[in-house]
Amino acid sequence: MKMNLLFVALIGGLLLCGRWSQVQAAAPERPNILFIFGDDCGIDSFGCYGSDRAKSFTPNIDALAKSGVRFDRCYSMPVCGPSRCALMTGRYGFRTGGLTNPTAGNPSFRDEPSLARIVKQAGYATAMAGKWRQMSDSPGDWGFDEYITDPTAAGWYWRKTYTKNGQQAVFDSEIYYPDAASDFAVDFIRRNRERPFYFYLAEHLIHGPIVRTPDSKPDASAPQHYDDNIKYLDKTVGKLVAELDALGLREKTLILFSTDNGTSPVGYQPQHDPQRDVGKIDGRAVNGRKGQLLEGGSRVPLIGNWKGTLAAGGVRNDLIDFTDFLPTFAELAGAELPAGVKFDGRSFAPQLRGEAGNPREWIFVQLGGGWYARDDGFKLNQKGELFAMKDAPFVEAPVPADSNDAAAQTARKRLQAVLDELNPAAGKTAPAGGGDPNTKAQKKARRQAKRKKAAAGEE
């Protein structure tokens, strides 16, 4: 009898161990994270989101969406600086002070949490390349082990200099800086392939000025240069994906692609868009553009690809905003969030593993003294104006304050409660006019900065 019981216990133990091994095998390891971040191109700039103009320009990005997951409702802030602050800190601008482009440098690594620093403390090698200026201090201060960057918030393309780990690199002839940035990424990945890494490629493409790329034809027109910039952004994505494949790292690497805000009015020069087709999806114009508190100002692409973990062909309608990236990366890296900090983000790591997750019920967008909360069907701004979002991103239909529609009344109460709890008006503020990138003061500041660069020989 004792022998029989011992035999049963032994068999049961082996079965239990086998099941535990299966669970362990099924659980994904901590992935490498490659985050590719485009500039000034919203959902209307990519084939997989239905772009009219760029339907055939982005085969590599589209392939990531086809073999991974496409999130249809991801929201940035309406301009570059505040978006980057939200990404880096996981906190809204009224908490950090990063409310506009001029104030995006106010948050300091001394006072704020840092995405890169958090994953670094979990054992990740960290590096970035590309656009940083607008954030304060240096990428190294914010937790990146290695970096290359440049002195401008605008496009940095055919140049003879950039900054590498705090030191200026100077070249005898012009280089195409986006190539230098992606080459730096490839080198970093090769050197760190045996350990978990986080690489953040902050592209200047397709921020103005819109200039030729290495693939542009000598006689290319202004509209062709615009198209070439989108194509080169896509080409860079393909270059990095091919490198991961060559190194056998695709199954170990989560690739994320997004952009910093909605589509710009084509590098501020209308000659790039004579057909007026920028900003259109399936023949319909997206409502708004960069710098506006509208769908077109903040609705950006978000594509996740994790070969072997994330099933192909997924499309998710979850609401995501830019404060969600920090807790997501922290969860994926197995990192602990700093104690005593009010984070605004919610992790979507489960969705990146192919699970249902716990999607947020609303997102929040702010630019200077303007803001709104948006849920599945409605949007409420700081003025108390309610909009029905059934036909977004093309139409944001005003709902009269005295509407008797039960769904609208419920939404107004629900979203007002969200705004009351956040209470942005009681937080940090921006100077008057600082939220509009087209005010006279902002235009004057840009002109002065351009003259200063020209005098220093940087143009």
Q: How large is the angle between the packed helices 59-66 and 222-246, nearest 10 degrees? A: 50
Which token pair is 83? Answer: 């978006």
Opening angle at CA 447, ends 441 and 451, nearest 5? 145
In a domain? residue 21: no
Q: Is the pLDDT of residue 18 over 80?
A: no
- Specify whether 134 is located in the same domain as 247: yes
CB 98 within 8 A of CB 106: yes
- CA–CA separation, 342 and 90 (whole Å): 9
- Specify whether 339 is located in the same domain as 414: no
In a domain? residue 8: no
Contacts of 284 (CB under 8 A, 6+ apart): 394
In a domain? residue 19: no
Q: Is the pLDDT of residue 440 over 50?
A: no
Last residue of a domain, one of 342, 360, 378: 360
- Specify whether 48 is located in the same domain as 151: yes
Q: Which neighbouring-strand residues pair with 374?
A: 363, 379
Closest listed residue to residue 392, CA positions, set 377, 406, 405: 377
In a domain? residue 24: no
Q: Supply the pLDDT for residue 450.
A: 52
Q: In which band, very low, low, confident or very high, does the pLDDT at 17 lie, cut at 50, 70 and 90? A: very low
Q: What is the mean pLDDT of the chain?
A: 90
- CA–CA separation, 154 and 133 (whole Å): 9
Last residue of a domain, one of 329, 360, 391: 360
Cα→Cα distances 246→31, 189, 225, 239, 243, Å: 17, 11, 31, 11, 5
**Number of domain units in the chain:** 2
Last residue of a domain, one of 318, 336, 360: 360
- CA–CA separation, 258 and 281 (whole Å): 18
Q: Supply the pLDDT for residue 452.
A: 46
In a domain? residue 208: yes
Q: Supply the pLDDT for residue 275.
A: 80
Q: Is the pLDDT of residue 13 over 60?
A: no
- CA–CA separation, 44 and 52 (whole Å): 8
- Specify whether 418 is located in the same domain as 274: no
Q: Supply the pLDDT for residue 108.
A: 96
Q: Which long-range contacts (CB under 8 A, 24 or more apart) does 155-163 make?
A: 155/39, 155/204, 155/205, 155/207, 155/208, 155/209, 155/210, 155/211, 155/267, 156/131, 156/204, 157/204, 157/209, 157/211, 158/211
* Element spanning 115, H or E: helix 115-121
Q: Supply the pLDDT for residue 446.
A: 47
In a domain? residue 305: yes
- Specify whether 242 is located in the same domain as 379: no
pTM of the predicted model, to two decimals?
A: 0.89
- Specify whether 414 is located in the same domain as 280: no
Q: In which band, very low, low, confident or very high, does the pLDDT at 271 lie, cut at 50, 70 and 90? A: confident
Contacts of 29 (CB under 8 A, 6+ apart): 252
Backbone φ/ψ region at 227: left (φ over 0), alpha (ψ -120 to 50), beta: alpha
Name the residue type at position 118: I
Q: Is the pLDDT of residue 3 over 70?
A: no
User: Alpha helices, DSSP H only, in 262-335?
Assistant: 295-298, 325-333
Name the residue type at position 392: A
Q: Supply the pLDDT for residue 456.
A: 46
- Specify whether 386 is located in the same domain as 268: no
Mean pLDDT of the region 405-412: 98
- Specify whether 354 is located in the same domain as 376: no
| Lookup result for tokens 């760190």 | 192
Q: In which band, very low, low, confident or very high, does the pLDDT at 361 lie, cut at 50, 70 and 90? A: very high
Q: In which band, very low, low, confident or very high, does the pLDDT at 80 lie, cut at 50, 70 and 90? A: very high
For residue range 43-71, list pLDDT tens digits in order. 999 999 999 999 999 999 999 999 999 99
Closest listed residue to residue 188, CA positions, set 153, 152, 144, 155: 144
Owning domain of residue 423? 370-455
In a domain? residue 15: no
Of 12-21, 75-84, 409-418, 441-450, which gets the smallest average pLDDT?
12-21
Q: In which band, very low, low, confident or very high, does the pLDDT at 5 lie, cut at 50, 70 and 90? A: very low
- Specify whether 176 is located in the same domain as 199: yes
Which token pair is 230? Answer: 């989108």
- Specify the length of the chain in residues: 459
- CA–CA separation, 180 and 150 (whole Å): 11
Closest listed residue to residue 230, CA positions, set 56, 393, 48: 56
- Specify whether 344 is located in the same domain as 395: no
Which token pair is 34? Answer: 């490659």
* Element spanning 22, H or E: helix 2-26
Of 79-93, 250-264, 344-358, 429-443, which gets the smallest average pLDDT?
429-443
In a domain? residue 18: no
Closest listed residue to residue 344, CA positions, set 95, 97, 134: 95
Per the model's pLDDT, the better-predicted residue between 437 and 354 turns out to be 354
Q: What is the DSSP string of 277-298?
A: -TTEETTEE-S--TTSSSHHHH
Contacts of 357 (CB under 8 A, 6+ apart): 318, 347, 348, 349, 350, 351
Cα→Cα distances 362→132, 234, 348, 454, Å: 29, 31, 14, 44
The CATH number assigned to the domain holding 37 equals 3.40.720.10
Prior bond of 393 cis (ω within 30°): yes
Q: Is the pLDDT of residue 28 over 90?
A: no
- CA–CA separation, 158 and 146 (whole Å): 22
Q: In which band, very low, low, confident or very high, does the pLDDT at 1 lie, cut at 50, 70 and 90? A: very low
- Specify whether 356 is located in the same domain as 382: no
- Specify whether 270 is located in the same domain as 380: no
Mean pLDDT of the region 154-161: 96
